[in-house]
Structure formats: structure tokens, C-alpha cells
Amino acid sequence: MSVYQLNREIVFPHPSLANENGLLAVGGDLSPERIIAAYANGIFPWYNKGEPILWWSPNPRCIMFPENFRASKSLKLLIKKNIFEVRYDTAFSSVISRCAKVHQANQSETWITSEMKKAYILLHKLGFAHSVEAYVNNELVGGLYGIAIGKVFYGESMFHTVSNASKVAFYFLADRLNQWRFDIIDNQMTTDHLLKLGAEEIDRDKFLAILKKSIVKENHSGKW
């Protein structure tokens, strides 16, 4: 299958036209309008420094129903100890920067480029992107960030400098989204870690059907 070249018009080819690796299109920009349009259609940007912007829609898709978050006994005990203080949307820029550093340390480069950081920080200011942060003694030691549209949360990345900090943040995210009746958390790419926490893989067509109904529902916009 061909990889589509985007132009200035904010239009994407249908996700079913992505190649076997999930790559759908190349080019375009990281404007808020384009990024939101991409997520609403099950597409997300992911590329390395020096590459053109690449847009993906993998099949199958790794998702989690918030009510299915699987907390181990050890995690439940850890949460009861109140070691971590969890906050929302108080340090978005710090969270995305720390996520970038973790990926860079592990992979020698990161897809969270300076352009990506600027784009998602702007989305945060516009009320679409959110962070969940874990603190110990008022020090940021873990967290995650993502985008919310309707009743869908699109998880982007997480980090921790203290064991289990990001897992605790994820637990509180899932709990809050469950209370707010969010339909799914989109994890994008499958990992063993996510599967152990209750994520699952579903066919892309099923994922897109869920999106179509969920993104038009009332959203908790603005600061969480």
C-alpha cells in the first residue's frame, strides 16, 4: 500500500489504507487542528528527529476499558500507604519533558521532539492535553500525559524515577476516567506491561466504531 503525502488541507486518508506496520501518511504539520483531527480518526503522529512527520494507525489497536484496570495486590497496598501524592494538570510541561528524557536515555533518541513538545503543550493550554503526576515529598517522580476527546483518552507516554510511580499515576487516571464514564483509553502500541495492567488488543475497525460514538460525547475540557 502507498503512504499518503499530506498537504495544507486538514484531511487524512482512511486508517484502513495504512500499510501493514500501521504507517498511513507523511507530511502536514503539528497544528492543534490537525492533531485533533488525526486522533478523532484513530491516527497519531510518531517520528524521530530529522524525519518528516509520520502518521500512524496500527491494527490491531491496544486499548483499555477504564473499569478493567488490573491493580495487583502489591499496587493496592502501595496506594493504601499514601506514599505518592497524585495531582492533575499541575506540571504538564515537566511531565512531557521528563518522558522525552526517559525515551532518549533508553533509545538514544526520542520521538518526543522539541516540535512535538511545543505542539502538545499548546494542546494542554487549549484544554485537550492532560497530565497525571505522582509526587513524593513534593518532588515529581512519575507521571503520564495524553489527549482527551469526548469520552476517549489517548495515552501518549509515561515516566518514573521512583519505582511504581507511573503505575500509580495510571491507576488514578483509570479510576478518574471510570468515574467520568470514559469509554476507552487508547494505548496505541501494545506492550506486555500494558497487557498486565488490563489492556487488550482489538481490531482497528472495532476501535474506529467506538471512537465514532465516543468522541462526540460531552468532554471534561479545560484543566482537570
The ranges assigned to domains in the chain are 4-60, 62-214
d(CA 219, CA 147): 11
Find the mean pLDDT for residues 109-135.
Answer: 93
Query: Measured between alpha carbons, how far is 49 from 220 in angstroms, rounded to an integer?
Result: 33
Exposure of 60 in the CB half-sphere (CA atoms within 13 A): 11
* Residue closest to 100 by CA, chosen among 157, 52, 165: 157
Write the class of the CATH domain 4-60: alpha beta
Q: How far apart are CA 110 and CA 21, in angstroms?
A: 19
CATH fold of 62-214 reads Aminopeptidase (3.40.630)
Cα angle: 197, vertex 202, 203; to 5 degrees: 160
- For residue 107, CA distances in Å to 58, 93, 102 come to 21, 21, 9
| pLDDT tens-digit readout, 86-98 | 999 999 999 999 9
Q: Do domains 4-60 and 62-214 have the same CATH topology?
A: no
Residue pair 186/153 in contact by the 8 Å Cβ criterion: yes
pLDDT number for residue 105: 53
Phi (first) and psi of residue 204, to 5 degrees: -60, -40
User: Model confidence at 107, in pLDDT bands (50, 70, 90)?
Assistant: low
pLDDT digit string, tens, across residues 24-39: 999 999 999 999 999 9
Which residue type does 138 have? N
Give the pairing type, strands 23-27 and 4-6. parallel
Cβ atoms of residues 200 and 191 within 8 Å: no
Q: What DSSP state is assigned to residue 59? A: S
Q: What is the pTM for the complete model shown? A: 0.94
Residue 217: pLDDT band by 50, 70, 90 thresholds?
Answer: very high
Residues 6+ apart with CB under 8 A from 181: 151
State yes or no: pLDDT of 109 exceeds 60: no
Task: Answer for the pair 22, 116: CB distance below 8 angstroms, yes or no.
Answer: no
CA-closest candidate to residue 130, choices 103, 148, 142: 148
With contact defined as beta carbons under 8 Å apart, do 149 and 183 qualify?
Answer: no
